[in-house]
Structure formats: C-alpha cells, structure tokens
Structure 1
Amino acid sequence: MTIRAAAVAATLALLAAAAAGCSSSPREPKKEQPIDPRAAGLAEGFGTMDRLVEAARREGALNLVGVPRDWVNFGAVMDRFTGHYGIRINVAEPKASSRREIEIAKAAPPQDAPDVFDLGMDVAVANAERFAPYRVTAWQDVPDALKDSGGRWYGAYGGYMSIGYDPRKVKAPRAFADLLAPGYAVALAGDPLRTAAAFNGVMAASLQNGTPEAKRGVELFAKLKKSGGFSKPSKANTLVDWDYVNAAKAAQTAGDDTPAWKVVIPKGAVLASYYVQAINKKAPHPAAARLWEEFLFSDEAQNLLLKGFARPARMEALEMKGVLDRQAAARLPAVTGRPVMLTIPQADAAKTYLKANWTTAVG
C-alpha cells in the first residue's frame, strides 16, 4: 500500500468512527408544552388543534344548556361535532332562556354545570364575570361589535327582526305601520317583558330613521290591541319574530303552488341581534368547551348555522374566502337598509319603559 493510500484509508476510518459515535448518541427529545385546558387561546393552552382534540376526548363529554336541536340547525352542528371527535353532548333544558341558563349554572352540581353558554348579548354582558376568556382561532373574523375585548363572550350567529305572514289571507306588509290595516291578526313571539324575541319585535316596530324609541313600539301595539288586530300566535296570520324563525317556517311550504307563509324584513326597520358564546369559568370539561367553540366558529359549523337560516358571525369572512354556502345564503330574506343593533343603554332604557307601560297599554 502506498503512503497516500494508507493516509486515505486512515482518514476514512476516522470519519466512519466519528459517524458511528454520533449515531449512537441519542438526541434529546423535543419537549412539548404542558397542556392548560383553561387557557385563553389554542396556542398557549394546547399548542396544536390535535392536542386540544386529545384533551377533549379524554374528558369525554360536553355540557350545553338552552340549545334546542331544531334551533338554527343546531342538531346538525351537534351531530357533526360528535361525529368528528367522538365526544358525547348533554343538553340541559334545551328551551331555557338566556337568564334561565345562568340560573341553571348557579344551581347545578359541579359535574353537571354547563361548559358553554348560548346567550343574548345583554345577559352575557351582565354576567361576564362568570365566563372564562378564550379567543377562538377565527377571532379576527368576528366583528368588533359582536365580541368582548377581553375574550369573555363573542357572537356566533344572529338575524334580523322580521314579519312573517300568510299570503293567502293578507297582503305583504312593507312597514310595521301596514299591520294596522284591516285583516291582519298580528302576534309577537311571547311576552315582551319576558321574551327577548318579543321585546325586540316591539323595538323593531319603534325604529324611525335608525333610531329606536320604545314609546313608538308600544303605541303601535296598543293601536293593534284596540282595533282587535293583536292576536295570540296560535290564531295569528302574521308573526313578528326573528327572520330565521319565520324563514324556517316559510321554507316548509316554499315549493307549494300557494305558499302558506312568507317573510319580509321591513325597509327602514332592520333590527339586528346576535347570540353570543361564553365558556363557563367552572366548566367541568374545559378542553371540550374550547373545542366546541373552535368547531362552532369553523367554516363548516358556520355554514351549518347558515343552513338553519341564521346569519353566521363570520359570514363576511366566509364570503371573502370563497367558502360561503351560497345556496343557503340565497335563501335568507332580503334586507334593504342599514341594520341597527341596540346598545346596552338603549336596551336597558327600553326595558324600563316597557315595564312601566306595556301592561297598561297593551295587556
């Protein structure tokens, strides 16, 4: 062997030994961050969606309250959630009002307490100290007016106050004042002193140039009462209720030669309202609660709500991304005019006025 060949062989042997030494030294495994199921966001609490799903599956259940399966397609949303993640959903008092949801949470044993609330915005604001901050991944898509800056509550879906009517019995109303004409038997969706939909119906009727005034709404229904045009829902041919309720009813006979129900949102009286989500600070299944919120604000679930005639909070973002269910969106009642949302002070003042005057004026 030549001197050069021997040198090359020696060098190769040294490199091989070095490589063998490196391969025999185990690398330090990368440490994953500890899971915090009560964190205020996905990244800081779980790191990835997969780890959130794992944590939620270990909890195995999710407690909801006040969410009927036939409400804005929530049954499909629940089934899809369980199908994706294998997590059982328990629903307490599906038809509970927002205020009742809070009462249930106060009285429930720890393991039966709601994990998540579905609330009117006024109730959410009044009970914000009960909620755990959590910003969903799609947080930036939710309009600022629909979310608490601290992440304690955030709008998921909503709609506009509308007039549903039987076109076989009355003409299409163009304004709330048209309901005073003979032939209309008009109902609210409950007692406006107790039911949010009925209260907002009165307030929609009160709008003038975008400004609400409870007195105007009470006066209109007082005139209906006096003329005999104010009716119970079971006997009414006209119902003032959210568009997703009236639109769902209209869809049942939409293909008939003579539809039994149609819906209109009066021009100049477009009152909007949204239901907001909030996670219970004392949620017995905190990871499942956060997974539910992530799913509810996903493209898939927002479009499922849209199929239930609700207007998803991320609707504009879905359209910009090109993932909006356009067929479902086309089924929504047309809106002409700028939507109005009551501020908390406006709603409080209106409720005070109705408490003092509704029973005397309307009964």
Structure 2
Amino acid sequence: MPQPMPKRILSKVFAASFAALLTAGAVACAPPEKDDSGAAGSGTDAAQATSAEDFGGMEALVEAAKAEGELNVIALPPDWANYGAIIAAFSEKYGIKVNSAQPDASSQDEINAANQQKGRSTAPDVFDLGQSVALANTSMFAPYKVATFDEIPAAFKDPDGTWVNDYGGYMSIGFDSAKVPPVTTVDDLLKPEYQGKVALNGDPTQAGAAFSGVLMVALSQGGSADDIAPGVEFFRKLKDAGNFLPVDPTPATIESGQTPVVIDWNYTNSSETKKLPSWTVVVPPDNAVAGYYYQAINKDAPHPAAARLWQEFLYSDEGQNLYAQGGVRPVRADTMQADGVLDPAVAAALPVVEGPVTVPTPEQTEKASKYLAENWAAAVG
C-alpha cells in the first residue's frame, strides 16, 4: 500500500516553481443600511480603503469592522485549508458574525453569487478562488494591501493588492484502502476494480481543484501545461469504462463509501485521514501539480471594513499558522520560518514532493480553460 506523503515542509522546488512560473498577471433581501456617503465610523470610505492606514491604523480598521458587525464568506468548507477553525478564530477575536454561504460551492459559483446579489446585504464580501476564475474576474476585486504585504513574494500577488495568493498544495489521489486496491499511478484508475468509483472534485471549467486534477492527469498521459487535451481524453476513457463517477465528492460521500476514489488537493484529501483511517493519499511523483488559491475583496462588498480586516487576519502570523494546521502551505511560510514565527509543529506536518512540480502560468491556464470549455462536457457528458 502506498504510504502517506512525508510530513515535512514543502521543498524549495515547490516555492521555486511558483516564483518562476507565476507572474502577476440566494434569497433576496434589502440592501445593507449605510449612511449616504458609505463611510465607516471614522469618516473613511471603507470601500475605497487600500490599506489599514486609510482608516487611521489597525485599531481604527477593527473599530470600523466591528461597527459593521458581520462578514459574508462563500465556498469555504470547514475541512478545507482549516477554514472552520479560521472562521471561528476570527469571529471570536473580533466579535464579528461570519455568515458562511454555500461551503461546497465552486470558484465560479462565488463570482455568480456576487453578480446575482450585488447591492444586497447577502453578497459575498470576499473571495477564495482558483487561478483561472480569479484572473478572469479581476475587475470585480478591490485593491488592498495588508500589513504583511511586503513579506509576500512578488510572484504571489498583484502589485496593487487586487489579488494575493493565500495558500497552496499539490494535486493528489485519495482512496479508501478498505474498499479499493491501492492506487499507485493515474493509469490504475482505468482498471475494472475501480468501476463507478473515481470522482473528481468539481467541474474543471468552474472549479480550481478539478482544473488542476485534469492537468495532473494530462501530465501522466504525455500532456503538459500547454496541452491539457490528453487529460480530457483520459476522462473520456474513464467514463467509457464506467469508472468515472459524476458525483461531487464531500466528506459525507467519502465517509459513506459513495466516492471511494477522489482526485483533489492533498490537504483536502488528507483531512479525511483523521476520520477514516483507511483513507490513503498519494501525490503521483512523476506528474506533480501544485497550485495556489487567490484571495480577493469584492469591490461591492456589503461589509467593506470587515472584508479588509478578514484579509489582515488571514495574512497575519496567526492566520497563516491556522492555514498550515490545515495541511496547506501558507504563502508567507518561508519568511515566517526564517523569522521563527511559523509554528514548528505545523511546519513539520507540511508535505513535500521530491522532483519536478508543474505550476501553470496565467497564460497556460487561460489556454487550458478555453480548451476545457470547448471539450469537457462532450468528453464526460
């Protein structure tokens, strides 16, 4: 049986790959009540603030956010990147109610919700998005630089703070060793033993995890970040063999046995090992794919001060360590480790992959996304 991934901090090749390849590039309700100027309590227009200094400092930002009293987040499953604990810590620290909508939604669902609920108090204040969806919707984001902005490598952020990477990980295959044979390679998934058992986390035309899953499969079939077609063809074969399971996996489907094989990020798959001891996680070593998620503020956020305070919390030492506890690599990990503020226990638990790691550039992501939009449905429909 394949062993779980080594519990060490991500290797420098992972960080180097990103540095080299990533370049900056509901129910209707009444609108939120604001004064005529849309100003925060200090007189600052919170929706226009690009840093805490615009409020008069962090204490004033906290005061303005507390005055709003609420924060709307979307598509943040509690078991994903430790968001359950992150939300609880933020709410307890600042006394702000966090409304978490559609926790299992895709990145595209986040954008759709913001458009559909624009002007309402239920609209998302912040986004947590896969690369392709984030880069296609930057006009919806409000630029903001957190206090630790200068500690975030240039490759992981827009220069104006319109978006900032928050955490990353590797694409993996999780499987229940009590229900299916060990998976050692992507090609194993075509075997009869996996009939009706292989699920992909989402639709790759809408969800970052699924997009990266198809890319990982493409690499295993001779494709590349410039040619995702072999990945789509593999899933066509998987469907024709009866092995592809068109079910969006969740912790409930995994624990019930409905989705005994899941292609998803390593940190999401690994979180299941705490509940299901037979759940095993493998990062295919010869076609490793890594990716960061994109954090952004909705420019039409109904709670603009709380949205900015949320960003400050996520990129603080406390927030970054909470991310690491969820098995993801926080974007400030290297700097925090050098400064001695990355929790040693969580640093030791971060995974590492030896060898080459593929990280698509924004241009490659755009090209692959176009191919998926034109070919995915026909392949698996």
Correspondence 1:298 to 2:307: no
* Alpha-carbon distance in structure 2 between the residues aligned to 1:65 and 1:236: 24
Correspondence 1:166 to 2:176: yes
Question: 2:285 aligns to what SS in structure 1?
Answer: coil
Amino acid aligned to 1:123: V
Please, which of 261, 266, 284 is the counterpart of residue 238 of structure 1? 261
Aligned position for 1:62: 71
Question: 1:206 aligns to what SS in structure 2?
Answer: helix
* Alpha-carbon distance in structure 1 between the residues aligned to 2:308 and 2:293: 17
* Alpha-carbon distance in structure 1 between the residues aligned to 2:122 and 2:190: 48
Aligned position for 1:211: 224
Structure 1 residues 47-196: aligned runs within 5 Å: 47-108=56-117, 109-168=119-178, 169-173=180-184, 175-181=185-191, 183-184=193-194, 185-196=197-208
* Alpha-carbon distance in structure 2 between the residues aligned to 1:223 and 1:67: 32
Once the two structures are aligned, what percentage of the paired residues are identical?
A: 47
Aligned position for 1:21: none
Please, which of 318, 333, 339 is the counterpart of residue 321 of structure 1? 339
**Bigger CA radius of gyration:** 1
- 8 Å Cα contact 1:268-1:336 kept in structure 2: no
Aligned position for 2:238: 224
* Alpha-carbon distance in structure 2 between the residues aligned to 1:299 and 1:131: 24
Aligned length: 324
Post-superposition Cα deviations, 1:255-314, rounded to whole Å, max 9, x if no partner, equal: xxxx31111111132212222221122223222221111011111111112222222111
Please, what is the CA RMSD of the aligned residues? 2.6
Select the structure with the greater relative contact order (CA < 8 A; seq sep ≥ 6): 2
**Residues 137, 226 of structure 1: CA spacing in aligned structure 2 closer, same or farther, 3 A cutoff?**
same
Amino acid aligned to 2:55: F
* Alpha-carbon distance in structure 2 between the residues aligned to 1:84 and 1:120: 28
**Residues 97, 180 of structure 1: CA spacing in aligned structure 2 closer, same or farther, 3 A cutoff?**
closer
Give the C-alpha shift of residue 181 in structure 1.
Answer: 4.5
Structure 2 gaps, min length 5: 1-41, 248-256
* Alpha-carbon distance in structure 1 between the residues aligned to 2:223 and 2:342: 29
Give the C-alpha shift of residue 194 in structure 1.
Answer: 4.1
Amino acid aligned to 1:171: P
- 8 Å Cα contact 1:265-1:333 kept in structure 2: no
* Alpha-carbon distance in structure 1 between the residues aligned to 2:81 and 2:124: 20
Structure 1 stretch displaced more, 130-139 or 338-347: 338-347
- 8 Å Cα contact 1:265-1:334 kept in structure 2: no
Question: 1:112 aligns to what SS in structure 2?
Answer: coil
Amino acid aligned to 1:89: V
TM-score, scaled to structure 2: 0.76
Question: 2:90 aligns to what SS in structure 1?
Answer: helix
TM-score, scaled to structure 1: 0.80
**Residues 245, 113 of structure 1: CA spacing in aligned structure 2 closer, same or farther, 3 A cutoff?**
same
- 8 Å Cα contact 1:147-1:155 kept in structure 2: yes
Aligned position for 2:279: 261
Structure 1 gaps, min length 5: 1-32, 254-258
* Alpha-carbon distance in structure 1 between the residues aligned to 2:377 and 2:43: 57
Structure 1 residues 7-26: aligned runs within 5 Å: none
Aligned position for 1:30: none
